Amino acid sequence: MLRSNAELWWAFFAGVVITALYGAVLFFTRAVPAAGELFGHSLGILGFILMLMTEILYSLRKRARGAGWGRMAFWLQFHIFTGLVGPYMVLLHTSWKFNGLAGAVTLLTVIIVFSGVIGRYIFTRIPRTLDGMEIEGALPEAALRQARWLLSLWHTVHIPIGMALFISAFAHIGGALYYSTLLK
């Protein structure tokens, strides 16, 4: 299913462009972009939208196998791309301050990205068709059983961490809106 690393190259390219923009702002303002100012805030918003797309769109596609929304391989690549670029933008949004709830959200973001990298590695060990179906007989049964078990264990950890991340992120967004917008 993941026959190339195109999503990783696109994420790397996007990261380079985002880093160049961040560097330009840093150069011209002579200060780390604050999370609550236009550039830092924009990074946070766009990064969070990408992270929501990472979770929601891929999950919807996985559950709608016969809906004709495109190949699962494309959606998994999209999931990986947005799952790398969105968190990177959110990390830059922090202004390198990791206090309170925002710090916890950042930690959960780092953990979920690291978990996703591990999941991608496990997933690519199982031979699949372009539609995401396992190819029977491509691996010895014992190795296939072990890979399925590892993937199942990985899902058991990855999904609850993702839920905790989004609950915390929504709490952070609500707090930020309340304290910096509604109280002014």
74-to-34, 123, 162, 169 alpha-carbon distances in Å? 35, 15, 21, 27
At residue 59 the predicted structure's pLDDT band, cuts being 50, 70 and 90, is confident
Beta carbons within 8 Å of 14's beta carbon, 6+ residues apart: 81, 85
Distance, CA of 45 to CA of 39 (rounded, Å): 10
What's the whole-model pTM score? 0.81
Mean local confidence (pLDDT), 68-93:
87
Q: Are 76 and 58 within 8 A, CB to CB? A: yes
- Greatest C-alpha distance within the chain: 64
In sequence order, what are the beta bridge partners of 134?
Answer: 128
Domain ranges of the chain: 6-182
CA distance 113 to 74: 19
Q: In angstroms, rounded to a whole number, what is the distance separating the alpha carbons of residues 76 and 74?
A: 5
* pLDDT tens per residue across span 99-142: 888 889 999 999 999 999 998 888 777 766 665 666 666 667 77
**Confidence class of residue 47 from pLDDT cuts 50, 70 and 90?**
very high
